[in-house]
Chains A and B, each alone.
Chain A
Amino acid sequence: MEFYLPVIWGLLIATAVALYVLLDGFDLGVGILFPFTKDEEERDQMMNSIAPFWDGNETWLILGGGGLWVAFPKAYAILMPGVYLPVIVMLLALAFRGVAFEFRFVSKPNHRWWDIAFAGGSTVAAFCQGLILGTVIDGIVVADNSYAGGPFNWLSPFSIVCGLGLVCGYALLGSGWLMMRVEGALASHARRWARPAFVGLFVFIVVVSLWTALGVPRISDRWFSAPMIYLLWPVPLVTLLLGYIGWRAIDRGLGLRTFATSVGLFLLCFIGLAISNYPYLVPPTLTVWDAAAAPDSQMFMLLGAVPLLPLILMYTAFVYWTFRGKVRPGEGYH
């Protein structure tokens, strides 16, 4: 069990992070798209389409961070100082956009600043998450079991590409969500926004794949050596296929299909990253076993997570179901 516990926890945290990226991804995406319409009613619709969900979505971020601390305290203690500034800026950006949901409503009609806070906060938070991701893939400098890099190691061309890629990806999720959840002019706007976001995400996928595959020997060995190459060739192929289906779906204005294919693309990226970096939690030094908490701690938490996570997913689904259907223009906030 001592061998499997860290692997189970690695999978659980990966699941939490993936759920965070998909769920908060679409509501951050709606925030990123916010400045592209000036129409007051459309902005209200955009906000109302995500207002009942954003808080629950964001909780997966706390589970991702908290879970990392629970299961891998050593990794948490090394990573956080390594990405100190982007984490702080991300948290403050999330603070701005989080309060904007309520403040924008209660400050009407003088809510222009909270529109800016919502859009700016969403975009900055997404960009910072990309920076953090890029920094971790790039590798964290570790000496004596603690972070040993400089305060600006997170700032590199590669991490900036990741930041931009994530902003595009979230914008795509957001436009897919809007295509599903609204009707009328806003739905066709969302369709128009989806195209550049889609292209951005795809460019990002190609650039990051080539960059890591060619630039990081550890990763190129993983992908291009036998027998892995025979097992992994479907990954890029399925990505291309999904890209084609998604592009067609945007053309035809199919919200659900657009959303589903962008979710698929995100998941493929995520699986790709996991394949590239397994079993490292803090590449290229700490594996899941090096960083694992005491088995007692991991076990104690697992006993809670096994019944509670399905329960959480169930009531989350219930709330999504409660607020199903199209958001109509003029529907009240509270």
Chain B
Amino acid sequence: MELDPVLLARVQFAFTISFHIIFPSFTIGLAAWIATLEGIWLATKNDRYHELARFWTKVFAVSFAMGVVSGIVLSYQFGTNWSRYAEVVGNVVAPLIGYEVLTAFFLEATFLGIMLFGWNRVPPWLHFLACLIVAVGTCISAFWILSANSWMQFPTGHEMRDGIAYPANWLDIIFSPTFPIRYFHMVLGAFITTAFVVFAVGARWWLKGQSIAQAETAMKMALGLLIVLVPIQGYVGDTAGELVRDHQPAKLAAIEAHWGGEETPGAGVPLVVFAIPNEATETNDFQIAIPHLGSLIVTRSWDGTFPGLKTFPPEDRPPLLPPFFGFRIMVGLWALMLLTVVVGGILWARGRLFSAGLYLKAVSLMWPIGFVTVIAGWFVTEIGRQPWIATGILRTADAISPVPVGSLVFSLVLFVIVYAIVFSAGIYYINRLINKGPASVSHADEGEGDDGLRRPISAAHDAGRTAMHPGE
């Protein structure tokens, strides 16, 4: 069998980036959560916030380390595997990545030191500031990455000379039309992902009768945030869909499995709820569709139409299955999240949130829901962009490095092995930390501290702990 170097390079990139995206989508939210906890602790001096902050900092440290090491890999892959891409769009995309390094990476990596190790070294307000800086850094980082990615989706502000992209207007490049909404969509996704983890972990502690006070606080904060954010994400996601309609019609047709070619006036486009799209016959097998709903959602009119896949020559169509199913997974999981927070909100309003055992059990199992949703969404957006690596500028097949197939196979195998070891270990350790809960954290404090800053906190801390857990 002849191995296709483009496919190998794509599999490698998809593999490494899918692993990577798990960690930013968690640490963006987690950094903000830790900063919030510390802020509340500084304002109220209530120790349960401090214990939660210290606990989640440990989880953050493990997750952030995995995010860093998998991110460095990506920053070099543009050159190792996609050197034609690096050259053709380098003038335009590289400065965006460069700005990410200068404005975000250094900020995060440097203040992380204070965030993790500075508890006894700097006064609490400075520690809070470091957490805040790390949290802001993660959002700046997402800003540049989404900016670069949005430009690849729908490039503007450049001009082509001899097959190379040159910048013409930096503001148009940074703020390409799909960027603002896609940025909010991603950051909201990250906050929701984290909130579901916190919610689920709180439910787990509560059900086990462990760290009750902290579990209660964490669950209320997470649910409160989710009640606000999940509906907003529905709106933002829908707006992101409009942008796909306006700027990437082939991607939209793939998402909807809409072949077209049979337009009858007034019939509109049905919404394909489920189908097995068949690229050979250019039809859908086993289609379940709701008449007119496709028109209504996409064009906001009862019988509007939009271009079907047949409008595009086969070589310009994205692969169908990942965008089609990825989109349904993403939206389906969002609906499940919405149901969860609505039920949670009702229970909370009736004062029964903490006695609904079945609901809490279900919530405690839902920690991965955000991760799966984010990855499904990225599959929709990235595979839907194909066959272009930068829409209209460079095809993915032409972007690859002059590297022999053997090297690509070797590196792919190495990535799979190393990632399997590193990330399964990481997830195991995070799970173990979570099982131990915040109680285990406070023990680590003892024996530390000699510069006077530590003592008062520590004393208050211990007193607070006995006062707060009378039942344990």
Contacts and interface: CB of A to CB of B under 8 A. Distances in A.
Interface of A: 51-53, 55-56, 58-59, 61-63, 65-67, 69-70, 73-74, 76-81, 84-85, 87-89, 91-92, 94-96, 98-99, 101-103, 106-107, 146-148, 150-151, 293-294, 296-297, 300-301, 304-305, 308-309, 312, 315-316, 319, 322-323, 330-334
Closest 6 CB pairs of A and B: A73-B90, A80-B79, A52-B113, A95-B69, A77-B83, A70-B98
Contacts of A76: 78-79, 83, 86-87, 90
Interface in B36-94: 57-58, 61-62, 65-66, 68-70, 72-73, 75-76, 78-80, 83-84, 86-87, 90-92, 94
Q: Output the residue of A76, A80, A87, A96 with the most chain B CB within 10 A.
A: A80
Given A55-B110, A77-B90, 11 more contacts: A55-B113, A62-B105, A69-B79, A80-B79, A81-B80, A95-B418, A293-B91, A294-B167, A296-B91, A319-B111, A334-B116
B157 to A, nearest CB: 11
Contacts of B121: 322-323
B357 interface: no
A94 B70 CA distance: 10
B102 A69 contact: no
A69 B97 contact: yes
B415 A304 contact: no
Contacts of A331: 448
A79 B79 contact: yes
B117 A297 contact: no
Contact of A70 (B97, B103, B105): B97
B447 A106 contact: no
A58 B109 contact: yes
B300 interface: no
A48 to B, nearest CB: 8
B87 to A, nearest CB: 4
Contacts of A65: 75-76, 79
B466 interface: no
A124 to B, nearest CB: 12
Contacts of B73: 91-92, 95
Given A78-B83, A102-B61, A322 B114 contact: yes
A59 B94 contact: no
Nearest to A92: B418
Contacts of B106: 56, 59, 63, 312, 315-316
A99 B426 contact: yes
Contacts of B62: 99, 102-103, 106
B432 interface: yes
A63 B414 contact: no
Interface stretch (B192-200, B265-273, B396-404): B396-404
